[in-house]
Structure 1
Amino acid sequence: MERVVITGMGIVSPIGNNIQTFWNNLINGESGISTIDKFDVTNQKTKIAGVIKDFAAAEVLGKNEARRLDRFTQFASAAAEQAWVDSKLDLDHIDVERLGVYVGSGIGGIETLIENIDLLRQKGPRRVSPSLVPAMISNAAAAQISIKWKAMGPSLSPVSACAIGNTAIGEAFKLIRLGEVDVMFAGGTEAAITDLSIASFGNATALSTRNDDPAKASRPFDENRDGFVMSEGAGILILESLSHALRRNAKIYAEVIGYGASSDAHHIVATHPEGKGAYLAMKAALKNAKISPDEIDVISAHATSTKVGDISETMAIKQLFGKQAYQIPVTANKSMIGHMLGAAGGVEAIALAMSLKEGIIPPTINLDHPDPLCDLDYVPSFARQMKVNIGLSNSFGFGGHNAAIVLRKYE
């Protein structure tokens, strides 16, 4: 079977719209959470989010392209462009029939949908855009990337809620490993910060209402956490067979060595109270990677900052790793970037790849009063410099979807 490596990465995030800025802010514990200024939040319970800043779609994508694309596709296109340039791949020297795209979104073009509903109600059906459907469908991002890079290999937009990024990376990894393709775009994208989404999650009491101190709102594993912080952006990786990468002397960030998926089969929004699905996904990922639990050096936790979710993930880690769980650093990127929903897995895979490459584990910020039921080493407050060889990244989603990937430092 082919070995699979990461040769390019691109990102749009609340703490940076390129890899180096994102990474510097992540390891320095900088929060990207701020007061929402995209729409009126006067009557909203939650007034904060991880809103993308300094992103001018017209400048990045061109005026015409930006106009016809929903924000979630704009983010994906920008991140894919970064990843492609970073990889130094050349369309003239690869087989486009063996170039594929697995990029998903949980919610798709909700901004475009809302805008057109308003037009319909206010001005009638003739004002509804004929481009509504192709702009809002969840596979628009994957399709746009495929069209732009003439990728004629498999194209898929997995929808596994907040597990999408890991699902996309894991399934793309399997295709390359089986020798069916040479190169894949893989990851996730989301742009769901709207008045409708904030109102719905707010009424479900799922969001933090720490409106007076946004930077302190996302608090994974902290006893005083009061919900997750919605965020937006995209994380796209270029996965490539090792043989293909070596033939062109490519730069390699890390190797993908395992993928596991499972379902809680429990509840449409609540995680399994004992973390059974999370445990099964991690266990499957390690088995797929052909490694034992004691070979894991770091865990990138899903860690959304919800009471039940953080506890169940901690329980799952303890079940799989036993006493060793207390020796493994567990980091929570969402403490700084919030919950990017369908984009979370892709972005957190990028963070883990950088950790392996640089030997630095990002901190979990805002962990001031640890929940007694969350008693692992969550790398509180400050980044930790240490040798890390193999890392595990978790992503879980509404409906009980669980996906875990294993990355290894490339030597």
Structure 2
Amino acid sequence: MNRRVVISGIGVRTPGGGDREAFWEMLASGRTATRTISMFDASPFRSQVAAEASFDPAVDGLTAQETQRMDRAAQFAVVCAREAVSDSGLDVDRVDPAAIAVSIGSAVAAATSLERQYLAVSHGGRDWVVDNDAVSPHMFDYLIPSRMPAEVAWTVGAQGPVAMVSNGCTSGIDAVGHACQLIREGRADVALAGAADTPITPIVVACFDAIKATTPRNDDPEHASRPFDRSRDGFVLAEGAAVLVLESYEHARARGARVYAEVAGYASRCNAYHMTGLKADGREMAEAIRVAMDDARVGPGHIDYINAHGSGTRQNDRHETAAYKRVLGDDAYRVPVSSIKSMVGHSLGAIGSIEIAACALAIDRCVIPPTANLYERDPECDLDYVPITARDARLDAVLTVGSGFGGFQSAMVLRRTTGAPA
């Protein structure tokens, strides 16, 4: 069995955008959401900028009990799942619960709550012997990453396969890829798939400070994320989430669902080379792209747009530029490429699913989001990176890629769906 998989619902929470439509409006206008960190005093850190989401759990419909029980990232995931289901028009009560799957990705899971709880039990890190009476009764929930997909499953009553995918910065794309495989194989008819991360905490900021991966451009936070620009100097940490409703084509067609796009191909590889380093030749990412394109049965001449990983680090920008050239040949110079991280920052494991949502919306709206802050292109990055301003274009096949610490390289091809309900 190899069933077609389509996207029928999208839920998003990102910096600069309160929901799916606000997110898309920000991308289409080329606005940035990177600012000075306000969640804590970041003055001791090398990098003091991030992309924070304006998020009020009560406004988004979470009860006080849900807010207390769930970590911030889990809250994002549940709210996005609800929005995606509403957007899809799916009546989950009319679907066999055993035919609904959940696949959620995250790089650092409940980092926000774990750090807060550590500070509580150690009195701000002062005491070696912790105060057990100060710990939250929900501490176990924060410790176990699988609680996040479980919360999403409870939201829709899913009783099919439920999984947490944690592959660093490719978690979001890999979680969607896993869900697609479940539907392709007939193990589910519907899946809620995506990722959430809320890593703007002192411990995570310190981790990236230590390896100098994040930007020190603290005096100009709105322009700090600069993928492919000659002056780029690291990525901007962010938080966010996206959850998609995936369905088999037959299931979506039977209920007359509106379809954004088809997930036509997916592949993942590991370079087995270095925890954080990348080879300049882009071979491993190129292999993931090649297999994903073969899976989708599209050739280099069919790709209309590439959503780049585009983190804004020199080694990544060179690596993926080389990968596109290796796979697409001369077509690499024809295909528009852009990075939405220039606007919403890098939300670690969540960004892959956010970028898939952006690609599905780009196909639906016939608009290519720009690469913000790209004023002077690096000579080593000589492709068409859609600087500053969005472009109108019909997109029939879109490639999105992800690259993560640990050597993970993932690629997915989305396609305009033919023969599907409007």
Aligned residue in 1 for 2:243: 236
Residue in 2 that maps onto 1:192: 199
1:8-407 to structure 2, matched below 5 A, reads 8-53=9-54, 55-60=55-60, 61-122=62-123, 124-407=131-414
Note if contact 2:24-2:358 (Cα within 8 Å) is conserved in structure 1. yes
Q: Distance in 2 between matches of 1:97 and 1:139?
A: 18
Q: Which runs of 5+ in 2 are unaligned?
A: 124-129
Point out the more displaced range, 391-400 or 135-144: 135-144
Would the aligned equivalents of 1:106 and 1:138 in 2 still touch at CA under 8 Å? no
The answer on whether the counterparts of 1:188 and 1:343 sit within 8 Å (CA) in structure 2 is yes
State the Cα deviation string for residues 97-130 of structure 1 (Å, max 9, x = none): 0000000111011121112211221261222123
TM-score calculated relative to the size of structure 1:
0.98
- 2:237 counterpart SS class: coil
Contact 1:12-1:233 within 8 A present in 2 as well? yes
Q: Secondary structure at the match of 2:12?
A: strand
Contact 2:82–2:155 (Cα < 8 Å) also in 1: no
1 CA distance for matches of 2:186 and 2:22?
A: 34
The verdict on how the C-alpha distance between 1:50 and 1:136 changes in structure 2, with shifts beyond 3 A counting, is farther
Q: By how many angstroms is 1:273 displaced?
A: 2.6
Q: Mean Cα displacement is larger for which, 55-64 or 317-326?
A: 55-64
Q: Which TM-score applies when normalising by structure 2? A: 0.95
Distance in 2 separating the partners of 1:175 and 1:110: 29
Partner Cα distance (1:211, 1:115) in 2? 25
Q: Give the Cα separation in 2 of the matches to 1:230 and 1:58.
A: 25
Deviates more, 1:363-372 or 1:115-124: 115-124
SS at match of 1:188: strand
Unaligned runs of 5+ in 1: none
Q: What are the Cα deviations for residues 19-38 of structure 1, in whole angstroms up to 9, with x where unaligned?
A: 11110110100001011111
Aligned equivalents of 1:89, 1:388: Cα separation in 2: 26
Counterpart residue type for residue 17 of structure 2: G
Q: Shift of residue 193 of structure 1?
A: 0.4
- Say if 1:104 and 1:138, in contact at 8 Å, map to a contact too: no
SS in 2 for 1:58: coil
**Equivalent-residue separation in structure 2 for 1:119 and 1:362 (angstroms):** 42
Paired residue for 1:3? Answer: 4
How far has the Cα of 1:15 moved from its partner?
A: 2.0
1:71 Cα deviation after fit: 0.5
In structure 1, distance between residues paired with 2:310 and 2:375: 16
Alpha carbons 1:103, 1:157 under 8 Å: kept = yes
In structure 2, distance between residues paired with 1:363 and 1:148? 35
Q: Is the 8 A contact 2:267 2:412 kept in 1?
A: yes
Q: Distance in 2 between matches of 1:178 and 1:298?
A: 28
Amino acid at match of 1:14: P
Q: Which one-letter code corresponds to 2:214 in the other structure? A: L
- Residue pair 1:70, 1:136 contacting (<8 A) in 2 also: no
Residue 365 of structure 1: CA displacement? 1.0
Contact preservation (8 Å) 1:182, 1:244: yes
The number of residue pairs the alignment matches comes to 410
Query: Which secondary structure state, in structure 2, belongs to the residue aligned with residue 267 of structure 1?
Result: coil
8 Å Cα contact 2:37-2:49 kept in structure 1: yes
In the alignment, the residues of structure 1 paired with residue 59 and residue 366 of structure 2 have an alpha-carbon distance, to the nearest angstrom, of 34
1:403 is paired with a residue whose SS is strand
Q: Give, in angstroms, the shift of residue 137 of structure 1.
A: 2.4
- What amino acid does structure 1 have at the position aligned with 2:301? D
Question: For the residues of structure 2 that align with 1:41 and 1:127, how far apart are their CA atoms?
Answer: 25
Give the partner amino acid of 2:81: A
- Does structure 2 conserve the Cα–Cα contact (< 8 Å) formed by 1:70 and 1:112? yes
Contact 2:104–2:195 at 8 Å: present in 1 too?
A: yes
Q: Contact 1:41–1:195 at 8 Å: present in 2 too?
A: yes
